[in-house]
Amino acid sequence: MIVLAAAMMMAAPGAAPSAPIQERRALGQCLSKFVHDKLTDKMEGAAFKAAAKNACAAQAAAFRAAWVTYDVEMKTRRADAEQNADGQIDDYLQNSTDSYVDGTTPAKPKGADTASAVKPASETTPPKP
């Protein structure tokens, strides 16, 4: 009986690999801090993205390695796993860049877009009687 239980445990599939939550969190925190620290620098979006990529390179590399390992353990081809990891890192960088650009771009005054569409009364034609 004991032998049967031991054999069943050995035949059972292993525990599913866990997603790289800590590495993802570390990358997100690094990029968030970088956005906050650079808000006063008024950089162009592309320059910010390049600087963020360099500033958080260690966290991005750790996330990439952990994600590729996780994805391969989930039976994904290595090339696809690497592409998935790179895509996620690119998304994080782009989201951070968008947040930075939004935080450094002055807000348009309310009605700025619609004000140009409204014609003054002098430019309108009166209705025909």
Query: CA separation (Å) from 107 to 19, 47, 71, 80, 117?
Result: 39, 21, 41, 41, 19
- What is the total count of domains within the chain? 1
In a domain, 5, yes or no: no
User: Any alpha helices (H) in 39-122, and if so which ranges?
Assistant: 45-55, 57-73, 78-104, 112-115
In a domain, 46, yes or no: yes
User: Please, are residues 60 and 13 in contact by the beta-carbon 8 Å criterion?
Assistant: no
In a domain, 14, yes or no: no
pLDDT of residue 1: 46
User: Phi/psi at 47 (nearest 5 deg)?
Assistant: -65, -40
In a domain, 23, yes or no: yes
Query: CA separation (Å) from 88 to 85, 91, 109?
Result: 5, 5, 35
In a domain, 118, yes or no: no
* Domain assignment of residue 83, given as a range: 19-105
In a domain, 3, yes or no: no
Tens digit of pLDDT at every position of the chain (129 positions): 454 444 444 445 567 788 899 999 999 999 999 999 998 888 899 999 999 999 999 999 999 999 999 999 999 999 999 999 999 999 999 999 999 999 888 777 666 555 555 555 555 555 555
- Widest distance between CA atoms in the chain: 102
In a domain, 83, yes or no: yes
User: Phi/psi at 108 (nearest 5 deg)?
Assistant: -75, 145
Distance from C-alpha of 87 to C-alpha of 26, rounded to nearest angstrom: 17
In a domain, 113, yes or no: no
